[in-house]
Amino acid sequence: MSKNKKRNPPATRTNVSKGASITKGVSVSKAIAQSKGPNAQLTSTKLDIRQIIRQPLDLLKWRNATRVAESIMMPRRVLLYDMYSDVVLDAHVIAVIGKRLDAILTAKWQYVDAEDKPVDAVNQLLDSIGFADLLYEIGLSMFWGYSMVECNIYQDYDGRWQMTAEQYNRKHMRPETGMIAYDQNGDQGFSIREGRFAYTVLEAGKPRDLGLLISASMYAILKRNDISDWANFVEVFGQPILDAEWDGFDEDQRMKLLAAITAMGNSGKLVRPAGTKVTVLQDKGVQTGQLQDGFANFLNKEISKALLGSTETVESSDTSGYAQSEEHGQQDDKKSSKDLDFVRRTLISKFTKIMKAFGLPVDGGKFIIPDASTAIDPVDAFNMFVLMDSQIGMPVDHDFIYEFTGMPKPADYDAQMAAKKAATDLQTQQTAQTDNGKLANTPPASGAKNVESVDGKDINRAGLVPNKSAKLALKLLDFFGWPHQ
């Protein structure tokens, strides 16, 4: 990827460094190049990009790539990133990474000032394709490790703020020194922490971080080799055996028979010499590939644990139940919240200065997600409202309940509530009479089993002990009012 040709879209005027300013039609790079500061000289960005090396992988290559990347004297990530480029082609890895990135990309990001008021110019930028690309690259840094993303902000033909976000070729990065090497195996290059790059390049993640793929790669490699063996198994045991006979004397006959079988292929048609016999023998063994299937499922679960922290929300399990899946779903929610915090802090710490360099009003502002709060399940919310009123006597705003559930409020709401209150008062009087008068159809019983206490009121139930459903019904009646009798 060549960095010689840089797009120079228009930008508003702002100070970038001492003696430098951005004017209409002049990019950040030219503005800093014209400055008299120590970082004014632009550095050549010619990179010698090479093809990704794709080759059969095994655990020995995974170990060697890890050791070279973790080297203290001369760390190199070329082998590691070539391996990552192969690992991310795994369907399960794609699903798990996509699951975590979805929470970041679908969040309603917003920028507000010091008074928590939306900043229209910045929010216009946040609604661009380029900002979605930036969120994607920041999210990927959790899996690939430390990343360098070059940002360019401009106004389009309609005056709307737009941007581009392009990840530098990772094999050229030198995270420990903040350098981009011209050659993926060399040391000569330019610093992204000086000159114009200090105002255009966003660094995501810690310099020594190799990402979550370092762990998941081991299982993905084993899975790939397991599936390869499984494919060989299917090819060997899935095809019938041809039992061919010849007279044992005529060699020419044998060669013609062998040629006929070879030419048969998958057509199911065979022309054989006279005097020969071909019998199709179907495999009647019990080989099912269950061993390979079980191993592949085990490796998928390990990949999910490494990249997601749980398994049940990616693939369903035959052994676990609904409760366990719910628990893993809650773990995923916590993981998503953690991912959003990571991206938000990265934007505030690293991207705000880039926006300011391009003239956007960002002083004192911050990134927020207005609807990031966890939604309450309607059933759980309703049960909570009932308990608030019946158990602890906390008043509940009925207007809020109507708004929360989306149910229309009756036009004669006040009249209905007055009737319910009258019915409740009447029921209370009847209950008191029942407790004090010992009605004939409610003979006294030892142990007071015929009396049920609901919200501090003893209610006789004709000798019957209310079950849980009856208790819930009584609480609902107390909450919404007893019907008029």
- Stretch 393-406: mean pLDDT: 78
* pLDDT on residue 8: 44
- Stretch 233-251: mean pLDDT: 71
Scanning 238-377, the segments in alpha helix (DSSP H) are: 251-264, 290-307, 322-346, 352-357
Report yes or no: 220 and 303 within 8 Å, Cβ to Cβ.
yes
CB atoms within 10 A of CB 388: 14
How much of the chain is in helix, strand and coil states, percent to nearest 5?
45, 10, 40
Token representation of residue 216:
């998941």
* pLDDT on residue 39: 37
Q: How far is CA 244 from CA 122, 259, 268, in A?
A: 77, 12, 15
Nearest of 205, 196, 218, 199 to residue 170 by alpha carbon: 205
Q: Is 314 left (phi over 0), alpha (psi -120 to 50) or beta?
A: alpha
Q: How far apart are CA 426 and CA 485, in angstroms?
A: 9
CB atoms within 10 A of CB 148: 25
Residue 349 has pLDDT above 70, yes or no: yes
- Stretch 170-184: mean pLDDT: 94
Question: Tokens 């966890």 correspond to what residue?
Answer: 374
Considering just the CA atoms, what is the radius of gyration of the chain in Å? 36
Q: How far is CA 222 from CA 218, 219, 290, 448, in A?
A: 6, 5, 16, 68
Across the chain, what does the average pLDDT equal? 77
Scanning 145-188, the segments in alpha helix (DSSP H) are: none
Report yes or no: 80 and 65 within 8 Å, Cβ to Cβ.
yes
Residue 180 has pLDDT above 80, yes or no: yes
Token representation of residue 436:
């004090």
Predicted TM-score of the model (pTM): 0.65
More confident site: 440 or 59: 59
